[in-house]
């Protein structure tokens, strides 16, 4: 089936506009999501990761470490169907407080030779109220086979016409609208497709944003409510100096961890020479950089901080490498596009085989064993 998709279906779809295919796919999954029976059947086939893959993070149980990154289901219209495909968590959005169309089309482009995409979407969103209504509709389904132990994250952004000095208001507004329905929140300051957005990495603006969200979250949680985690999504294009400054400011904020990273504006190393295309690159070209970032950040950050790796994941080996480097969870988007509907189920099956081959009772135990072996080899090599 994966070969049929890659050899036949994807090449046929590649003849059409990339965003048009995406819209049709999401519309189909949204229609499928309306049928609990269909989603339950699909989940019995694909959403059955081995119990050994379950992990506890952020006070939540994830049935597998592989999740779907933000950008695929921007408006939370296809949550049950995506859960039925086997993902261990789903991140919806990016959600802006008010509806906005995003940047002009065409704005999504395929680079098949690189197994990459270029997108210049600019946060097209139906707005926080519409996304909240969709998430509310799926709440009764959260205990079903397709969504049990599949935490939902909401990716928050700002509207294009909101001045940077008041960006914190947009993020606080989105948090308030979606707070009852998401399990944790990802604050997106890293997209290259909204002018000035990446300036929010600057220490002063990031500290202001963190303080505003901490205050709004405390009010939303109430005296006896659950304080839901806030994660910060970083740009992969930060210089070492920018990263050091951003991390210093983040340590002073309300953040429970980081999502690393987003699309890159860099074009070096691509087989496809299209410097005219606007936007950021996602997919396989980002993997090496994501792996390096995760390893470095795990050494730099407090041990309790969450790290979610996203960028260039196409198979179980990529997931394993990122987890071994220090990621708590891994997300994919472009790999899902290129590998098709069985992507998550196949990755989960291969991960479970790897854990079983190591004779470990769980993924976490297998990773501890693998890290210990790698550490011992490193010591031998040094000596």
Q: At 1, is the pLDDT very low, low, confident or very high (cuts 50, 70, 90)?
A: low
Beta-bridge partners for 154 = 92, 185
Q: Residue 4 has what pLDDT?
A: 83
Q: Residue 115 has what pLDDT?
A: 95
Q: Residue 253 has what pLDDT?
A: 94
Query: CA 67, CA 206: separation in Å to the nearest integer?
Result: 26
Collapse the DSSP code of 266 into the 3-class scheme (helix H, G, I; strand E, B; otherwise coil) and give the result.
coil
The CATH number of 2-382 is: 3.20.20.70
Over the stretch 217-255, which tens digit does the pLDDT of each residue have? 999 998 878 899 999 999 999 999 999 999 999 999 999
Q: Residue 54 has what pLDDT?
A: 97
* SS3 of 75-136: CCCCHHHHHHCCCCEEEEEEECCCCECCCCCCCEEEEHHHCEEEECCCCCECCHHHHHHHHH
Q: Are strands 60-62 and 280-283 parallel, antiparallel or unpaired?
A: unpaired
Does the pLDDT of residue 332 top 60, yes or no?
yes
Over the stretch 129-184, which tens digit does the pLDDT of each residue have? 999 999 999 999 999 999 999 999 999 999 999 999 999 999 999 999 999 999 99
191 catalytic? Reply is yes
Q: Are strands 152-156 and 184-188 parallel, antiparallel or unpaired?
A: parallel
Distances (CA, A) of 367 to 4, 289, 313: 33, 21, 18
Q: Residue 13 has what pLDDT?
A: 86
Cβ contact 247:301 at 8 Å = yes
**Average pLDDT, integer, range 35-50:** 94
Q: Residue 276 has what pLDDT?
A: 76
Q: At 2, is the pLDDT very low, low, confident or very high (cuts 50, 70, 90)?
A: low
Over the stretch 63-121, which tens digit does the pLDDT of each residue have? 999 999 999 999 999 999 999 999 999 999 999 999 999 999 999 999 999 999 999 99
Q: At 382, is the pLDDT very low, low, confident or very high (cuts 50, 70, 90)?
A: low
Over the stretch 16-32, which tens digit does the pLDDT of each residue have? 999 999 999 999 999 99
Choosing from 33, 64, 191, 282, the catalytic residue is 191
The percentage of the chain sitting over the pLDDT mark of 70, rounded to a whole number, equals 98
Rg (CA), the chain: 20
Between 14 and 244, residue with greater pLDDT: 244
Q: Residue 342 has what pLDDT?
A: 95
Collapse the DSSP code of 281 into the 3-class scheme (helix H, G, I; strand E, B; otherwise coil) and give the result.
strand
Does the pLDDT of residue 273 top 80, yes or no?
no
């Amino acid at each position: 089936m994966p070969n049929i998709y890659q050899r036949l279906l994807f090449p046929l779809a590649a003849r059409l506009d990339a965003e048009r295919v995406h819209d049709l796919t999401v519309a189909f999954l949204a229609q499928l999501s309306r049928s609990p029976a269909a989603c339950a059947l699909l989940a019995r086939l694909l959403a059955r990761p081995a119990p050994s893959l379950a992990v506890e993070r952020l006070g939540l149980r994830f049935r597998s470490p592989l999740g779907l990154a933000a950008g695929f289901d921007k408006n939370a219209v296809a949550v049950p169907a995506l859960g039925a495909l086997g993902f261990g968590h789903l991140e919806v959005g990016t959600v802006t407080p008010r509806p906005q169309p995003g940047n002009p089309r065409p704005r999504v482009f395929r680079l098949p030779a690189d197994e990459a995409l270029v997108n210049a979407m600019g946060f097209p969103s139906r707005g926080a109220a519409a996304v909240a209504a969709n998430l509310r509709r799926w709440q009764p389904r959260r205990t079903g086979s397709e969504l049990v132990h599949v935490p939902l994250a909401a990716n928050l952004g700002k509207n294009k016409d909101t001045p940077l000095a008041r960006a914190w208001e947009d993020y606080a507004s989105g948090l308030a609208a979606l707070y009852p329905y998401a399990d944790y929140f990802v604050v997106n300051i890293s997209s290259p497709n909204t002018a000035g957005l990446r300036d929010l990495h600057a220490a002063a603006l990031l500290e202001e944003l963190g303080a505003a969200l901490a205050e709004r979250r405390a009010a939303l949680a109430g005296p006896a409510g659950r304080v839901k985690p806030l994660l910060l999504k970083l740009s992969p294009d930060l210089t070492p100096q920018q990263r050091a400054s951003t991390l210093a400011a983040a340590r002073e904020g309300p953040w429970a961890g980081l999502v690393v990273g987003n699309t890159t504006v860099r074009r070096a190393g691509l087989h496809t020479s299209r410097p005219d295309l606007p936007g950021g690159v996602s997919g396989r070209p980002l993997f090496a950089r994501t792996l390096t970032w995760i390893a470095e950040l795990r050494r730099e950050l407090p041990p309790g901080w969450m790290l979610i790796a996203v960028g260039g994941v196409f198979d179980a080996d990529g997931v394993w490498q990122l987890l071994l480097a220090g990621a708590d969870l891994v997300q994919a988007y472009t790999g899902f596009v290129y590998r098709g509907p069985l992507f998550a189920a196949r990755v989960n099956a291969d991960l479970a085989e790897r854990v079983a081959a190591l004779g470990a009772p769980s993924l976490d135990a297998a990773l501890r064993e693998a890290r210990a072996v790698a550490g011992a080899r490193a010591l031998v090599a040094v000596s």
